[in-house]
Amino acid sequence: MTALLVVVQLAALVVMPVVVVGVINRVKARWAGRRGAPILQLAWDVRRLLAKRSVYSDVSTPIIRIAPLVVLITALGSALIAPLTGAGALVGFDLDFVWFAYVWGLGRVALMLGALDTGSSFEGMGAAREATFAVFVEPALFLVAGALCLDGGTLRFAEALAWHGVDGGAIVVRVACAAAMVVVLQAELARMPVDDPTTHLELTMVHEVMILDHGGRELAALHAGAAIKLYVAIAVIATLINPWAGPWTGPWAGAATPLVAAAIHLGLCVAIAAAIGLFEALPARVRLRVVPTYLLSATVAAAVALLVVLWRTA
């Protein structure tokens, strides 16, 4: 990978999280007939929060201050492995997807501990839901990674996600994997229909209720971490549905220079963000009881992908 591409990836890591959150919110607002916040609103929010002083719950321990930083660190760590601009990742090593999944897990545990540190029953409720939902998406993530690794003959996440040829089987595998990853994204990032980020009823929140008692720079770190994770998840999905991802494997390899391929990929990320915004404006959140069943669809989709891979190799 050229140095220029590294710079592009780092720049994308800084800019794109803000953009995807902005695009989702803007599309949702437009759909609802409102003008919507500026695309870069998240950046201003973070800057404003960093300047604010924090108020801590009087039963809290240093965990409430450490946990948001851990969320941010783990989000950045997962971003290093993900194909941020489609063409490989900043860091790649064998079995890095295990690291990817477990680093997300660590971030989730930190988020939940930070929530429980306040002793609030509402935040406990949110943490319980977050932990329960994670249980149902984790197998899907491994099935997706396993299927793609088996299909691509590689053990590196970014390489496995890239296309290794375009044929009917490959399209089915990648569409199924992308469908699974969309559900994983909805659960991990607490988006509709698993969770409604704009709800105002604590009883029904998942992610938002866990950060009720955080403020100041802790809240800034949590927002930043969530936005980075969102971008990482979107970038993974974009790689799955983009045959140009990875200039060395695409059907028109050589036709698109790495930079053009990266530009296509980033455009696709914005498009996916817009699609999420559109989708979120339409249905209501499903009932909490139904969520585990809904999340199991990710495992089913990933299992389908795995079986198609088996059929392709057998």
Partner 1 sequence: MTADHALLASVPILVIGAVLIAIVRGRRAQVALALGTQGAATALVLAAVAPVLAGGAPLDVVWPWPAPIGAIAFRVDALGAFFLAWSLPLTWLGTVYAVGYLQPSLAAGRNGGSHLALLNFTCVAFVLVYSVQNALVFLLGWELAAVSAWLLVIWDYKNQKIRFAGFNYLVSTHVGLFVLVAAFMLLHSRTGSMDFAAFGAYLAGAPPDRATIFVLLGVAFALKAAFFPFHTWLPRAHSAAPAHVSALMSGVIHKAGLFAFLRFTLLGGRPDEWMGWCVLGFGLVSAFFGVLYTTVQRDLKRLLGYSSTENVGIAAAAFGAGMLGWTWGDARLVVLGFAGGLLHVLNHALFKCLSFYAAGSIYRATHTIDLERLGGLARRLPWTAALFLVGGLAMCGLPPFNGFASELVIYAGLIGGGAGPAEADVALIAAAAMLAFVGAVSALATVRAFGLAFLGAPRDASVHVRGEAPATMRGPMIAHAVAVVALGLVPGLALGALLPVVGLFAPELGDARPLAVPGFLDAMAWPSRALAVALALAVVVAWRPRAGSATSPTWGCGYTVGSPRMQYTGTSFSDALARFFGAALPAQRRERLPKGPFPAGDGHVASHHVDAVERKMFEVLGQGEQIIQDTSSRISEQPRFAFAAGAIAIVVIVAVAVGGGP
Query: Which residues inside 238-297 make contact with partner 1, applying CB under 8 A?
Result: 288-289, 292
Q: Residue 262 burial by CB count (10 A; 0-12/13-18/19+): exposed, middle or buried?
A: buried
Residue 229 to residue 82: CA distance in whole angstroms: 10
Task: Select the residue interacting with partner 1 from 3, 53, 254, 284 (CB under 8 A).
Answer: 53
Q: Do the beta carbons of residue 113 and residue 71 sit within 8 Å?
A: no
Residue indicated by tokens 């941010």: 72
Residue 267 to residue 31: CA distance in whole angstroms: 21
Q: Does 70 bind partner 1 (CB under 8 A)?
A: yes
Task: Select the residue interacting with partner 1 from 3, 33, 58, 168 (CB under 8 A).
Answer: 58
Q: How many residues bind partner 1 (CB under 8 A)?
A: 81
User: What string marks each residue from 138 to 177 as x (binds partner 1 by CB under 8 A) or -?
Assistant: xxxxxx-xxx-xx--x-x----------------------
Phi and psi of 167, rounded to 5°?
A: -150, 175
| CB of 286 or CB of 288, closer to partner 1 | 288
CB of 184 to partner 1, least distance (A): 12
| CB of 117 or CB of 280, closer to partner 1 | 117
Phi and psi of 201, rounded to 5°?
A: -110, 110
Say how far residue 80 (Cα) sits from the centre of its chain.
Answer: 13
Amino acid at site 163: W
Q: Does 103 bind partner 1 (CB under 8 A)?
A: yes
Phi and psi of 253, rounded to 5°?
A: -55, 135
Task: Select the residue interacting with partner 1 from 41, 132, 204, 249 (CB under 8 A).
Answer: 132
Residues 6 or more apart whose Cβ sits within 8 Å of residue 276: 24, 191, 234
Phi and psi of 187, rounded to 5°?
A: -80, -45
CB of 114 to partner 1, least distance (A): 9
User: Which stretch in 12-20, 50-58, 188-196, 262-270 sits in contact with partner 1 by CB under 8 A?
Assistant: 50-58
| CB of 21 or CB of 304, closer to partner 1 | 304
Q: Does 57 bind partner 1 (CB under 8 A)?
A: yes
CB atoms within 10 A of CB 210: 27
In 3D space, the residue among 172, 173, 195 whose CA is nearest the CA of residue 183 turns out to be 195
CB of 127 to partner 1, least distance (A): 7
| CB of 105 or CB of 169, closer to partner 1 | 105
Q: Does 200 bind partner 1 (CB under 8 A)?
A: no
User: What string marks each residue from 5 to 44 as x (binds partner 1 by CB under 8 A) or -?
Assistant: ----------------------------------------
Q: Does 305 bind partner 1 (CB under 8 A)?
A: no
